[in-house]
Chain A
């Protein structure tokens, strides 16, 4: 129908460009973190991450080999030093220009021979080999300095990940926090689904007094801020002896996730065809059988979408873990808490921060892209009817 309105090329261009801008605005922040996690600390502070994607031009200051040890007698009072200027530099890149004085940088092209005066000659080739030739006085003492303009290709490293994940001596590593987070998340995702599925079936397909009231209560609890639950439940956990720990955080996540789970699953189950359920009843199936054999398999999309929500929410949570899990020993720290801690202690070490943060967001991002379909369905089921 936009075609009827007339799609002028200019309009199409404007549309494309505005979407590109929008997408860039939403993508670049994450991209910046991602790129930074592959750079060394020196690189990060030397230039913005956006310049790391392109070849960088820089001026290297190098010295040739020590003339007193390496010079070769050519006869006639002439001496020379030969070698490769990049030896021992581990350097990759391309030479643009060079000079022997810092006052006229870039004076010579690769392959040129520069006359340093009084018959002293210096030749430097693209591959770094040089010939430095002159008389006894010239080819002695301090080795000749060379200023080389090079274009180095983008340079990335995996060392940050090695340090943050696998370094045994790194007390602020993410490996333990990663497993702790995983330990919190898996039970906290599975248990509420089971409980909610039964409750949702009862609220959707069973007749009993008070059903409407219960649904209303679930809808109401959907928005109750979990901030209210912190102190009363922590006191309760302490009173019954659970204290701070995994059991407490699993229970808390289960409780906080239930309203959304019940609400989403009930909305989905109500929409299932009545005929199937009534036919099964006529055939003598019990509610329990109908639930396990018909409703549960049919509700898979809704179950999946809630599972993703709960997974994202528990993986990304900070507050519940702070209150119910992490004790003074710090043995049960989760990744979000670890990152907040790093923000305090390593605020300037962007390579550590970026890598740690990216490790914690990589898993949810993977889940997000793999299961996006279910996530969208779940959102739509929860909000639009």
Chain B
């Protein structure tokens, strides 16, 4: 069957199935199981209302349980096992972890990930804040914002191609087509550089891609937060003779700290999971490995499920503090 037809069929079956399920289950509840009439009408209505939320939630709980909760447990289990020929598993305790910790490539990935985690959220939030503040009172501010926000729609892979063109290096005697080398030579550089092959610094050239993508997100949210600041606080500062920098750093920033933290943590999560950019641009060569790509290498190239799962658990472990913090905040808000 043609995939497009299959897709259409899936939409019909999927959507029809969902609607049918919700409608049918609801009908079953009201018309067959607990009729809101007869001698037990009151009790039946109560019972139906006790069950109905679970009908509404059932597909979501199933999907979440199967596709997100179960894998956490299963991956944890796999990380203690070793796959033997013939679909057999042997319990090896922490061996996958100790083996992984002995690999220099893992520590390279860890170092790079930490570097990404320090630089990308800070730079994206910083640029976002700058863009939000600068465009705020500008007549063409909305157009500027649109353009800075635009890379959000671009895939990591597309962005990888875009930045590869920027970093492109051609031999010394012909015209440079990568703008970075063009500018480098224009401002006194000696020879064209292979930017992605300079160990350590190439990490920053990869980070630039993610910063470019995430800045718009930070800008949009921080811009809304800046607009939410009560005017009186700024006016009072102006009357007291504060200069624009003081207003920005001492009046505005403290009032949007909580939003900055939210933006920062959201970008941190995205950074932790970064895979496509490294996969497409260097594939971890020249000391640019990161955890997600390391894990992919182990799982699908080396076919080592034990170590791959161990690497995935490391990523999970790094996410956990943010997870706990988010849940804690959400619960606090609901009270």
Taking Cβ atoms with an 8 Å cutoff, the residues of A that contact B are 1-2, 4-5, 15-16, 18-19, 22-23, 26-30, 32-33, 36, 44-50, 179-180, 182-184, 186-187, 190-192, 194-196, 198-199, 201-203, 206-208, 211-212, 214-233, 236, 246-247, 250-252, 254-256, 258-259, 262, 286-288, 291, 312, 315-319, 322-323, 332, 336, 339-340, 343, 350, 353-354, 356-358, 360-361, 364-365, 367-369, 372, 375-376, 379-380, 383-385
Contact = CB atoms under 8 A, between A and B. Distances in A.
Given A29-B166, A196-B60, A46 B175 contact: yes
Contacts of B110: none
Given A228-B316, A319-B296, 16 more contacts: A26-B215, A29-B166, A32-B179, A49-B165, A183-B6, A190-B15, A198-B22, A198-B60, A206-B56, A216-B331, A230-B312, A250-B14, A258-B67, A259-B68, A287-B52, A357-B158
Contact of B155 (A192, A286, A361): A361
A372 B149 contact: yes
B251 to A, nearest CB: 11
B273 A226 contact: yes
A228 B15 contact: no
B198 interface: no
Nearest to A336: B157
A368 to B, nearest CB: 4
A252 B315 CA distance: 20
A368 B150 contact: yes
19 contacts: A187-B7, A202-B53, A218-B64, A220-B323, A225-B292, A231-B75, A231-B305, A251-B67, A254-B67, A258-B64, A259-B64, A287-B49, A287-B56, A318-B279, A323-B300, A336-B157, A361-B154, A376-B220, A379-B217
A235 to B, nearest CB: 8
Contacts of B168: 350
A290 B208 CA distance: 48
B280 A250 contact: no
Contacts of B155: 315-318, 336, 360-361, 364
A228 B149 CA distance: 30
Interface string B143-180: 01011111111111111111111101010001111110
A219 B299 contact: no
B60 A179 contact: no
Secondary structure call for the A interface: helix
Given A179-B4, A198-B22, A383-B262, A22 B148 contact: yes
Given A30-B150, A198-B57, A231 B165 contact: no
B94 interface: no
B312 A227 contact: yes
Contact of A224 (B7, B19, B68, B215): B68
A22 B134 contact: yes
Contacts of B178: 48
B247 interface: yes
Interface string B313-335: 10110010011001100110110
Interface stretch (B100-108, B114-122, B230-238): B230-238
Nearest to A385: B333
Interface string B207-221: 000001001110011
Interface in B69-83: 69-72, 74-75, 78
Contacts of B263: 383
A340 B161 CA distance: 9
Nearest to B269: A223
B60 A47 contact: no
Nearest to B335: A212
A26 B7 contact: no
Nearest to B77: A232
A287 B220 CA distance: 36
B192 interface: no
A13 to B, nearest CB: 12
B150 A221 contact: no
Given A19-B144, A48-B179, A199-B56, A224 B72 contact: yes
B32 interface: no
B3 A246 contact: yes
Indicate the member of B67, B234, B263 with the most A CB atoms within 10 Å: B67
Interface in B298-315: 299-300, 305, 308-309, 312-313, 315
